């Protein structure tokens, strides 16, 4: 086994330790806690393997549940503690690097299999115990028979002294004799019992074969049968029994009586039901929990032709804020109130509401007409949330976002359906919340790729999957190449080359933009130094590098940049950092300070995509900016001939304002010679665009610059 401090084996061991600590107090085992942990370790391993196995095997979960009964974990608390622990820690410690939602779904199914295995094992054990008692009783019956022949007195003693209920009837079912234990079970007197007929004792929950077995016995076609059977008590309650009925023959072997031995299992049955209830319901709200919901969803998705399902996945808006500001007790009360309201929205047959955890709820509707029903269900839920909730004298507004998935049974699995609902719910949230959205396959696919890309990003940087293309910046006056903008790309192993628009926003959201941006800066600065070394003489070639808003607020920005320049031996004035206009709108002094420091060192700052952010032109004076990069949309307006006169006026105005503030103007997206000429006439300084070159490898720029310098 691995001796590494944090290998899978250690994690498994840790899970077994936590599990044993949780369950041990609720066992009646004679083992010590460490011994008990050793006993759980192989069970933990089974769960861990079943969790990650390619296909789900309910038998594994059931076996673990059964093993818990074997290990004497039969106190009322034991199962729920074991399940809680699996719920909280199995995926965490044993999930490996699998897909979280799939792992959670698998863990939920394993829990329900454990609960089933546990209940079944408990039932089997009870039956086995009953069997032993019944066998003893049958032996007693032998004794009874003998005693019948011998002395009536001894028979009486055995009959009356038995702890289990004993009754004797003739073969027509007329009850002849019962003992005290049986009378106590039924809560009746001997008088009311005697003379009644066995066949009156039907109960709606009788197993289908019970009365067939009875008929066979009284026809002497079988010697005995064994079953679980319910009886009505006169007080209206139900008595559950383990019942063994035997045929009694006379001394000559002719069938004469039937003998019933029964043990009261009502309590144990209730306990089992309670255990099952606890394992499948949320303790706070009493709603069905994730486990039960998955069972129902699975069933709904496996239903036959013509059956459909509709799912509303609800997440409360801003619940965390309520929890944080009013405390968890208030948050809990809010959840209980929401649960009650949701419950009243889904009362029709085939509908259910469950709490998945936290402030996430689901409502499910099944049947042939969910296409029209599911929208109604979502409307009912939204309406139910409208009235504010009163807590501690405050009126709390409750809002929620719902993702709806609807479709035919038999096409998708529960994990996939839930993932789609989750994605759709997030779509409703990002559209402002307090609304519902309906899942569509295309949006799902986009979100899934986005999710896939996000999770693949960190490793991509380590694996060297990013590369940089450079696009020349050309002087409009003399046509020489003055530098280039560094544009990052990702060579994704499956999706091929991805442009920055596909992954920069994701990198910003996950924070990876900081190391990625630093890498781009490092590469580009080194590249600029390389161009200068090979291309001395004709003026320095500069490099433009884009900075994200997150990098701007990162405390290491100035220090990192200085170090990178020094290490490469590049002068600061050969570097231009591009910051988008939108990142600087409303920027305060704190945000501008690092930019100011960089600018003071001689690094140029360019305002990228200028003209898209509606910034106040008068504000430009405040900013430590030396270059305006006019957005592509202005250049596009000049594509037709003659160019739009309003566009021309605007560009002319911006250029003259920029020049009066001592700012240089670069134009982006120049695609034709006519545009270039127009922009030159308007006074723009530098241009960038496909007319000159598309972004390309660094060597290309070197060639271009040489051609320009010589030609
Ligand atoms: P940007 O800084 O405005 O970069 C210019 C974009 O316009 C580039 O798209 C470029 O390929 C494209 N372009 C250049 N000439 C033409 C033309 O003539 N016509 C048209 N239609 N497009 C042209 P790209 O490479 O897809 O980059 C998109 C944006 O991604 C960049 O916009 C920049 O904001 C961001 N970006 C690129 N690299 C980095 C990076 O290393 N770090 C950060 N933070 N952002 C980056
Ligand atoms: Mg740029
Ligand atoms: Mg730009």
Residue 546 CA to ligand 2 centre (angstroms): 5
DSSP β-bridge partners for residue 247? 258
Cβ(488) – ligand 1 distance below 6 Å: yes
Which of 486, 498, 544, 546 has most ligand 1 atoms within 8 Å of its beta carbon, as the pocket-test mutant? 546
Measured CA to CA, the distance from residue 527 to residue 565 in angstroms comes to: 11
Cβ(504) – ligand 1 distance below 6 Å: yes
Cβ(588) – ligand 1 distance below 6 Å: no
Cβ(471) – ligand 1 distance below 6 Å: yes
Residue 211: Cβ within 10 Å count: 12
Tell me the mean pLDDT in the region 1-18.
77
Residue 592 CA to ligand 1 centre (angstroms): 23
Cβ(548) – ligand 1 distance below 6 Å: yes
Condensed to tens digits (0 to 9), the pLDDT of residues 29-55 reads: 788 889 999 999 999 999 999 999 999
Condensed to tens digits (0 to 9), the pLDDT of residues 364-414 reads: 999 999 988 999 999 999 999 999 999 888 888 899 999 999 999 988 888
Residue 501: Cβ within 10 Å count: 7
Tell me the mean pLDDT in the region 564-581.
94
Q: Give the fold, CATH level 3, of 457-706.
A: TIM Barrel (3.20.20)
Q: Which residues contact 159 (CB under 8 A, 6 or more apart)?
A: 144, 166, 177, 179
Tell me the mean pLDDT in the region 610-633.
81
Question: Residue 169: enclosing H or E segment and its boundaries?
Answer: strand 165-170
CA distances from 159 to 144, 165, 253 (A): 8, 9, 22
Q: Whose CA is nearest to atom 27 of ligand 1?
A: 500
What was the pLDDT predicted at 709? 46
Please identify which residue in the block is written with the tokens 């231009």. Answer: 576
Residue 545 CA to ligand 2 centre (angstroms): 7
Helix, strand, coil percentages, rounded to 5, for the chain? 55, 20, 25
Nearest Cα neighbor of 567 from 521, 599, 531 is 521
Please identify which residue in the block is written with the tokens 């911006």. Answer: 654
DSSP β-bridge partners for residue 168? 177, 259
Contact 611, 654 (CB under 8 A): yes
Query: pLDDT confidence of 562, banded at 50, 70, 90?
Result: very high
- SS3 at position 367: strand
What is the chain's mean pLDDT, rounded?
88
Q: Whose CA is nearest to atom 19 of ligand 1?
A: 669
Please count the residues of the chain. Answer: 711
* Chain center to CA of 280: 18
Would you state the torsion angle of the CA atoms of residues 442, 445, 450, 454, taken in this order, to the nearest 10 degrees? 170
What was the pLDDT predicted at 2? 42
* Chain center to CA of 539: 57
Tell me the mean pLDDT in the region 263-285.
87
- SS3 at position 542: strand
Condensed to tens digits (0 to 9), the pLDDT of residues 487-507 reads: 999 998 888 888 998 899 889
What is the number of the ligand 1 atom nearest to the C-alpha of 609? Answer: 3
Q: Is the pLDDT of residue 705 over 70?
A: no
Q: Whose CA is nearest to atom 38 of ligand 1?
A: 487
Query: pLDDT confidence of 711, banded at 50, 70, 90?
Result: very low
Lookup: tokens for 109: 């199914």
- pTM equals 0.49
Beta strands (DSSP E) in 317-388 are 351-357, 360-367
CA distances from 609 to 388, 572, 583, 614, 638 (A): 45, 23, 11, 11, 17
Using a 10 angstrom Cβ sphere, with 0-12 exposed, 13-18 middle and 19 or more buried, the burial of residue 363 is: buried
Contact 361, 342 (CB under 8 A): yes
What was the pLDDT predicted at 611? 79
Cis ω for the linkage preceding 642 (within 30 of 0):
yes
Q: Is the pLDDT of residue 708 over 90?
A: no
Query: pLDDT confidence of 151, banded at 50, 70, 90?
Result: low
Measured CA to CA, the distance from residue 688 to residue 667 in angstroms comes to: 6
DSSP β-bridge partners for residue 471? 485
Cβ(522) – ligand 1 distance below 6 Å: no
Using a 10 angstrom Cβ sphere, with 0-12 exposed, 13-18 middle and 19 or more buried, the burial of residue 587 is: middle
Q: Is the pLDDT of residue 239 over 90?
A: yes
Q: 230 or 616: which carries more pLDDT confidence?
A: 230
Measured CA to CA, the distance from residue 154 to residue 428 in angstroms comes to: 79
Condensed to tens digits (0 to 9), the pLDDT of residues 423-443 reads: 899 889 888 899 999 998 777
Strand pairing category for 686-687 and 664-667: parallel
* Chain center to CA of 415: 9
What was the pLDDT predicted at 544? 98
Condensed to tens digits (0 to 9), the pLDDT of residues 674-702 reads: 899 999 999 999 999 999 999 999 988 87
Measured CA to CA, the distance from residue 95 to residue 52 in angstroms comes to: 7
Q: Whose CA is nearest to atom 4 of ligand 1?
A: 487
What was the pLDDT predicted at 218? 93
Contact 432, 425 (CB under 8 A): no
What is the number of the ligand 1 atom nearest to the C-alpha of 548? Answer: 44
Q: Is the pLDDT of residue 153 over 70?
A: no
What was the pLDDT predicted at 327? 87
Q: Is the pLDDT of residue 4 over 80?
A: no
Q: Which residues contact 570 (CB under 8 A, 6 or more apart)?
A: 525, 528, 529, 532
Q: 278 or 229: which carries more pLDDT confidence?
A: 229
Strand order in the sheet with 435-438: 351-357, 360-367, 308-316, 400-408, 435-438
Condensed to tens digits (0 to 9), the pLDDT of residues 447-493 reads: 767 778 888 888 999 999 999 999 999 999 999 999 999 999 999 88
* Residue % of the chain over a pLDDT of 70: 94
DSSP 8-state assignment for residue 512: T
Nearest Cα neighbor of 165 from 180, 182, 152 is 182
Residues 288-439: name the CATH superfamily: Reverse transcriptase/Diguanylate cyclase domain (3.30.70.270)
Measured CA to CA, the distance from residue 332 to residue 334 in angstroms comes to: 5
What was the pLDDT predicted at 149? 66
Cis ω for the linkage preceding 77 (within 30 of 0):
no
Lookup: tokens for 340: 């009650």
Contact 354, 289 (CB under 8 A): yes
Measured CA to CA, the distance from residue 333 to residue 338 in angstroms comes to: 9
Q: 647 or 311: which carries more pLDDT confidence?
A: 311
Q: Which ligand is located closest to the Cα atom of residue 544?
A: 2
Nearest Cα neighbor of 405 from 313, 315, 311 is 311
Q: 98 or 414: which carries more pLDDT confidence?
A: 414
DSSP β-bridge partners for residue 364? 311, 352
- SS3 at position 637: coil
What was the pLDDT predicted at 115? 87
Contact 584, 607 (CB under 8 A): yes
Question: Residue 520: enclosing H or E segment and its boundaries?
Answer: helix 513-535
H, E, C per residue of 69-92: HHCCCCCCCHHHHHHHHHHHHHHH
DSSP 252-321: TS-EEEEEEEEEE-HHHHHHHHHHHHHHHB-TTT--B-HHHHHHHHHHHHH--TT-EEEEEEEEETTHHH
Q: Give the fold, CATH level 3, of 162-270.
A: Beta-Lactamase (3.30.450)
Q: Is the pLDDT of residue 538 over 60?
A: no
User: What ranges do the domains of the chain cover?
Assistant: 8-127, 162-270, 288-439, 457-706
């Amino acid at each position: 086994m691995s001796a590494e401090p944090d290998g899978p084996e250690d994690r498994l061991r840790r899970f077994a330790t936590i599990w044993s600590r949780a369950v041990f107090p609720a066992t009646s085992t004679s083992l010590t806690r460490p011994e008990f942990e050793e006993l759980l370790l192989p069970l933990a391993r089974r769960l861990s393997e079943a969790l990650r196995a390619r296909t789900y095997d309910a038998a594994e979960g059931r076996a673990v549940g059964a093993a818990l009964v074997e290990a004497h974990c039969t106190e009322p608390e034991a199962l729920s503690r074991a399940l809680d622990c699996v719920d909280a820690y199995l995926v965490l410690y044993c999930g490996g690097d699998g897909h979280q939602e799939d792992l959670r779904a698998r863990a939920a199914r394993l829990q329900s299999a454990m609960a089933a295995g546990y209940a079944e094992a408990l039932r089997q054990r009870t039956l086995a115990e009953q069997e032993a008692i019944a066998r003893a009783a049958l032996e007693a019956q032998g004794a009874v028979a003998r005693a019948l022949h011998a002395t009536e007195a001894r028979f009486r003693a055995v009959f009356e002294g038995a702890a289990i209920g004993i009754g004797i009837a003739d073969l027509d079912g007329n009850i002849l004799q019962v003992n005290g234990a049986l009378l106590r079970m039924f809560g009746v007197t001997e008088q009311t019992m005697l003379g009644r007929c066995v066949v009156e004792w039907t109960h709606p929950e009788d197993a289908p074969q019970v009365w067939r077995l009875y008929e066979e016995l009284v026809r002497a076609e079988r010697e005995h049968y064994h079953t679980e059977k319910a009886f009505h008590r006169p007080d209206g309650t139900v008595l559950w029994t383990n019942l063994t009925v035997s045929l009694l023959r006379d001394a000559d072997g002719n069938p004469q009586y039937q003998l019933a031995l029964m043990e009261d299992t009502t309590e144990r049955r209730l306990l089992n039901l309670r255990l099952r209830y606890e394992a499948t319901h949320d303790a706070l709200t009493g709603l069905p929990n994730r486990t039960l919901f998955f069972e129902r969803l699975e069933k709904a998705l496996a239903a036959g032709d013509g059956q459909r399902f509709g799912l509303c996945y609800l997440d409360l808006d801003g619940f965390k804020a309520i929890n944080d500001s009013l405390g968890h007790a208030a948050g809990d009360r809010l959840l209980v109130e929401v649960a009650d309201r949701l419950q009243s929205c889904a009362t029709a047959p085939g509908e259910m509401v469950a709490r998945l955890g936290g402030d996430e709820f689901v409502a499910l509707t099944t049947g042939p007409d969910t296409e029209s029903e599911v929208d109604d269900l979502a409307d009912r839920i939204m309406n139910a949330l409208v009235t504010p909730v009163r807590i501690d004298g405050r009126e709390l507004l409750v809002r929620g976002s719902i993702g709806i998935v609807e479709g035919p049974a038999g096409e998708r699995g529960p994990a996939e359906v839930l993932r789609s609902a989750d994605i759709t719910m997030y779509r409703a949230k990002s559209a402002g919340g307090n609304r519902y959205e309906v899942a569509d396959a295309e949006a799902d696919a986009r979100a899934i790729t986005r999710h896939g890309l996000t999770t693949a990003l960190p490793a991509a940087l380590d694996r060297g999957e990013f590369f940089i293309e450079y696009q020349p910046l050309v002087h409009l006056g003399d046509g020489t190449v003055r530098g280039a903008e560094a544009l990052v790309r990702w060579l994704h192993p499956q999706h091929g080359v991805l442009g920055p628009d596909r992954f920069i926003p994701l990198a910003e959201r996950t924070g990876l933009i900081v190391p990625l941006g630093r890498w781009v800066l490092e590469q580009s600065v080194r590249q600029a130094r390389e161009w200068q070394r090979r291309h001395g003489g004709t003026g320095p070639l500069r490099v433009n590098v884009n900075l994200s808003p997150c990098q701007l607020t990162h405390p290491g920005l100035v220090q990192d940049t200085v170090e990178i320049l020094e290490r490469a031996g590049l002068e600061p004035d050969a570097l231009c950092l591009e910051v988008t206009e939108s990142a600087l709108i409303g920027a305060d002094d704190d945000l501008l300070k690092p930019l100011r420091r960089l600018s003071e060192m001689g690094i140029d700052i360019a305002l990228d995509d200028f003209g898209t952010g509606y910034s106040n032109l008068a504000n430009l004076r405040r900013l430590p900016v030396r270059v305006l990069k006019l957005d592509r949309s202005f250049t596009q307006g000049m594509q037709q001939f003659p160019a739009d006169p309003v566009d021309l006026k605007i560009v002319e105005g911006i250029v003259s304002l920029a020049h009066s503030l001592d700012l240089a103007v670069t134009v982006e997206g120049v695609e034709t010679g006519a545009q270039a000429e127009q922009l030159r006439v308007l006074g723009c300084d530098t241009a960038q665009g496909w007319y000159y070159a598309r972004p390309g490898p660094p060597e290309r720029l070197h060639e271009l610059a040489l051609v320009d310098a010589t030609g």
